[in-house]
Amino acid sequence: MSLNQTPQSNRIHIAFFGQTNAGKSSLINAVTQQDIALVSEVRGTTTDPVYKAMELLPLGPVMLIDTAGLNDTTGLGTLRKQKTLEVLNKTDLAVLVIDGLQSSFEFEKKLIETIHNKKVPLIGVINKMDLTALDVSRQEALSKDLGIPIYPVSSVTKEGIKELKIAMSQALPLDEDAFRIVGDLVHPGDFVVLVTPIDKAAPKGRLILPQQQTIRDILESDAIAIVCKEHELRETLDRLGTKPQLVITDSQAFLKVAADTPKDILMTSFSILFARHKGDLLQLVKGAKAIEALKDGDKVLISEGCTHHRQSDDIGSVKIPRWLKQLTGKQLHFDYVSGVSFTDSAKDYALIIHCGACMLNKKAMAHRLETVETLQVPIVNYGVMIAYVHGILDRALEPFPLAKMIWDEVN
């Protein structure tokens, strides 16, 4: 990821759905004024979802997703349909593209129901208006029949494209705190110390994404970010001359940072901040309680939202399994999944341990949490789990009174 780019996880995800050859790819090209999606008269040209990150006014940074036609009847149609519907789990806004030449909309009605069940904002587009006409009365009737707003466009002549962009921006729910990570915990002028270990797992030439985003949020809050490594923390605090509002550490340095941070200074981790920012901190805190109930033979899933080259002391595949075995004394079986895939077998696990989800958008992480909650499978994230196994979860939750109260109750 370039330092000049908005991360994928902070982009509005807009997905285009519809039947084969409804003109989804052509519409995306017209909206972006670029040849992003492959266009052909051959049915089913788009097979797997195609992602394009860009700036789209008046929306700002977005991730546009072109999907395969959901009425694809080819041999791979079922797999393509599954891939397309999985996109809904990370979609902030769905755009239903309808062929302006068709007369029946039963397929679209079923798709609308599916999208509504996912609680995704939805607008409809009648495409190919250069080949047919859609007067106001027919447009209103169709909108009423489908139960969604309908906008006529032509991907060829670009008629209605400007109006569609405005409609897309207005359809998105307002979220003033969409990217707040730590801003509600600090005040203008506060000092915040960030502990960022630079070891062999740290990427060359830059900080990892959670650290970048947290620093940006501190600056947005008119507070002051002070960055140091774990071995310089004590000296940093001594020389600061004023008590910081908060110390935030990489979870792997939790023990040393906890020892070097005076008890009257609030302390937590980047991962715990992201547990709250991207997911449900209360659910993840409750999940930590399941660690002490693990038994011999239990299966534990370690899930990461990104793929990366694993180091010899990798946090997910080496350190966490070692810590859990040492703490519980049990023989546990660990499975691993990373990237956009999650798991279709969540119910088979006694515990799921998830990363901080910095590379996932809120919608995707919320879907994962909802899935395991429905199955009554406990889930915890890296930061909460690491604080727990090191015996400092009480302290790491002090900046979050409600989560601290929940933890005290389950204990």
Neighbour count for residue 329 (Cβ, 10 Å): 9
pTM: 0.80
In the structure encoding, which two tokens stand for residue 57, read together?
A: 């006014």
Q: Are 396 and 267 in contact (CB under 8 A)?
A: yes
As averages over each run of 10 residues, the pLDDT of the chain (411 residues) reads 65 91 88 66 58 82 87 62 85 93 89 93 91 79 93 91 91 67 94 88 74 93 96 96 95 94 96 91 95 95 76 80 94 89 87 89 90 94 94 96 92 78
% helix, strand, coil for the chain, step of 5: 40, 20, 40
Helix (H, G, I), strand (E, B) or coil at 44: coil
What tens digit of pLDDT does each residue of 233-264 get?
Answer: 999 999 998 999 999 999 989 999 999 999 99
Q: How far apart are CA 363 and CA 371, in angstroms?
A: 12
In the structure encoding, which two tokens stand for residue 225, read together?
A: 């970010």
Q: Which residues on adjacent β-strands are paired with residue 126?
A: 98, 152
Instruction: Tally helices (H) and strands (E) across the chain.
Output: 15, 14
Q: Are 16 and 27 in contact (CB under 8 A)?
A: yes
State which H helix or E strand residue 273 sits in: helix 270-278
In the structure encoding, which two tokens stand for residue 10, read together?
A: 């902070």
Q: In the prediction, which pLDDT does 72 show?
A: 64
Q: How far apart are CA 294 and CA 123, in angstroms?
A: 46
Q: Give every strand in the sheet of 191-195, ordered side by side.
A: 224-228, 191-195, 246-249, 267-269
Q: What is the DSSP letter of 41?
A: S
Q: In the prediction, which pLDDT does 43 show?
A: 47
In the structure encoding, which two tokens stand for residue 209, read together?
A: 């994404």
Q: Which residues on adjacent β-strands are paired with residue 52?
A: 64
Classify residue 411 by burial, with Cβ atoms within 10 Å: 0-12, 13-18, 19+: exposed
Q: In the prediction, which pLDDT does 241 show?
A: 86
Q: How far apart are CA 226 and CA 397, in angstroms?
A: 21
Q: Among candidates 128, 68, 59, 120, which has minimal Cα distance to 95? A: 120
Q: Give every strand in the sheet of 379-381, ordered side by side.
A: 333-338, 299-304, 351-354, 379-381
Q: In the prediction, which pLDDT does 5 show?
A: 66
Q: Among candidates 42, 97, 40, 45, which has minimal Cα distance to 68? A: 45
Parallel/antiparallel/unpaired status of strands 60-66 and 50-56: antiparallel
End-to-end CA distance of the chain: 41
